[in-house]
Amino acid sequence: MSALVLFSYNASAKTKKTPAAAEVPATFKSDACTFFPDGDYRECCVVHDREYYVGGSWRDRLHSDDRLFGCVFKKKGVLHKLAAPLMWTGTRVAGVGFLPTPFHWGFGQKKKNPAASK
């Protein structure tokens, strides 16, 4: 319970819809659980990657990270209870949209070239 409060898990995130499959191209590839072994929570990471590909508002990102936390935390075993807050923290810190990483928020969206609009 304290992990839920400490890492501000948002219970309402469970009710938010994930991006439509139409928004993610068939060529999309997920690296699954970046910097973590894929384990039995791989599907949680793949859904999270799809959401990061699409991007959106800061609130969408928080809900996506909260869903990842909840998905991993619900798995049986104490290791999942330890991994969930570590994964949540990692995505909150390293997944910001302004970092030039291949896994940042909205990484699948084309950036507008300001020079091209002149």
Look-up: residue for tokens 């997920």?
Answer: 30
- What are the tokens at 70? 């909840």
**Measured distance CA(45)–CA(105) in Å, rounded:** 14
* Mean pLDDT confidence for 3-28: 58
Tell me the pTM: 0.77
Q: Any residues with CB less than 8 A from the CB of 52 and at least 6 apart, and which?
A: 61, 64, 95, 103, 104, 105, 106, 107, 108
Q: Is the pLDDT of residue 17 over 50?
A: yes
Q: Is the pLDDT of residue 12 over 60?
A: no
* Average pLDDT of the chain to the nearest whole number: 82
Q: Could you report the per-residue pLDDT of 38-96, keeping only the tens digit for each?
A: 889 999 999 999 999 999 999 999 999 999 999 999 999 999 999 999 999 999 999 99
Q: Any residues with CB less than 8 A from the CB of 37 and at least 6 apart, and which?
A: none
Question: Looking at residue 77, what is its pLDDT?
Answer: 93
Q: Is the pLDDT of residue 19 over 90?
A: no
